[in-house]
Structure 1
Amino acid sequence: MHGNRDVNDERRRELSLYEYVQAFDRGDFEAVAKVLTEAISDAELDRQIADVNAVLHADAGLQPVSEQSRLIRELMLRHLPSALVGSDEVPAPITIGDVAARLQAEHAIGQPLLPADLVVNRTLLASMELLPTPVTSATILSLATRLQVMASARYWELFRRAALMLAIARQRGEVQLAAARARSRPRRRSRREVRNE
């Protein structure tokens, strides 16, 4: 009987991972968040999602997340100290400038942008316009057309991937923040517990 439960758990994880990857490719943050919420209570699913993220990073030619995070924190502390979010604050929505800043940081650590793309990226750094959702190739193409910004197809694909990674990181942070808040709230005692005191 225990074997069936393990098989069912593994099948559920496989389906969740499939849904996660499909949602990631579609830019469907709500579906990604749903799977990440499942992973809060399933350590094995969380580990498998981390493995998938590592493969996606490697496929994209990106540095490991820990190295990116360290560098981004360092750059933010140096250049944007007020941009760091306190542990009790809810992060602001992602802007076009946020994505451009991530691409700028990736450029600084070895993910080079073409010179013309670097110029475009610098102009987008100041943009406070919210990132359109879902983040798909079509929405990014529409954004590029609307902004009347001429950059290479490679740049817009890097932009889309950086936007997805930011959204996933932000969503995961929000889920973890909600879980931490739930754990820190005092547990409501039942009437029986109150009477027995």
Structure 2
Amino acid sequence: MPVLALLSAVFVVGFEQLVQWQYGLTGIIGLLLLTIGIKAKEPTSLLEALRAPSRTAGLAGRIAGRRRTHYIEEWASVLAGDPEHGVTLSPLRRQYYALGFVCAAVRMRLHDLLGGFWTPVDWTISTRQRSNFFIASGVGVQVVMIQLHDGLYVLCTDGLGWAAGCGIALRLLVGWLRQVRGIELAAVDRPDADDE
């Protein structure tokens, strides 16, 4: 009996680590919700066992929020398969899909909740002047901190290298954030000296 308990614990922990590695935190949350949903009412018949993924997909629809209620019908049709064309899903595959729907719903809800935090970041990196001010401020704060903590000698010898590295890192961060957020800087038309 202890060997069976040990093997089942190893399997459960291994499966949990696999889900966390594949889907991250949302996968763990989805697995937790799925486990709670199944434990709340054990299926007593084959028909109820087949309804469990549908209940999980309904839970995913509620997690996704009111703006995405159209996904509930779409997810239900995916779980139903297409019996006319010979496409039927096994109960394990249906439960796997339902778990995926829960993970997607959690990610959608987190995107909705955290979307407002990108507004100041987008505002900062949308123009060259603001992003340069952000980079210069970061380097300036580092220079002041080095000078206050270690003195002028360390600032002039080792600190300038650290400040330059900080500036390069912040510049790369701004460029990467512009690429991730899809922000392109507008071209600046400068009048030629001949036109004046």
Superposition TM-score, scaled by structure 2 size = 0.27
Structure showing greater Rg: 2
Higher relative contact order (CA 8 A, sep 6+): 1
Superposition TM-score, scaled by structure 1 size = 0.27
